[in-house]
């Protein structure tokens, strides 16, 4: 089991949990999200993936981040309201975090170390993480959540 599963997470609602509990102990697509980005419409496809594979011990998890051109300026309440009202998001989300730099959240330290040494490029970068906390794949921000390479990786992880 990776240290990733035991790292703390604060949910968008303010509850304290661990990454393993946050993801339900299954396979997860971890995405740094933002509400005012050109890629924000990916929320709809992320929610569709979450619903499509939910019965197979899979979830999408969102980590709001304001580090890229201040495209996630809202409070946790505003983020939750926007995601629910605009895209019908039901997947779990954390409180706003930093994914790069000195303030990088420990979860993203682990993800980057396991998924390649490069910093997060932009909003909506995706990591596929197995139940044991292993990074199985990493996808660029512009890779759509329903792209064949993403869906294939999820299906392989769940097989």
Give the residue numbers marked as catalytic. 37
- What span, in angstroms and rounded, lies between the C-alpha atoms of 48 and 10? 24
| Burial of residue 10 (number of CB atoms within 10 Å: 0-12, 13-18, 19+) | middle
- Residue 76, helix vs strand vs coil: helix
For 89: left if phi > 0, alpha if psi spans -120 to 50, otherwise beta; the answer is beta
């Amino acid at each position: 089991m990776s240290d990733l599963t035991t790292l703390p997470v604060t949910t968008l609602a303010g509850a304290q949990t661990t990454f393993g509990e946050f993801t339900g102990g299954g396979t997860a697509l971890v995405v740094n999200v933002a509400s005012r980005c050109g890629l924000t419409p990916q929320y709809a496809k992320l929610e569709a993936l979450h619903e499509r594979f939910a019965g197979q011990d899979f979830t999408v998890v969102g980590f709001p981040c304001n580090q890229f051109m201040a495209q996630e300026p809202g409070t946790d309440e505003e983020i939750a309201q926007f995601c629910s009202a605009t895209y019908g998001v039901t997947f779990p989300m954390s409180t706003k975090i930093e994914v790069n730099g000195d303030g990088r959240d420990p979860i993203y330290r682990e993800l980057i170390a396991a998924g390649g040494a490069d910093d997060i490029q932009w909003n909506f970068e995706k990591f596929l993480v197995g139940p044991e906390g292993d990074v199985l794949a990493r996808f660029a921000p512009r890779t759509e959540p329903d792209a064949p390479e993403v869906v294939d990786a999820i299906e392989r992880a769940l097989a």
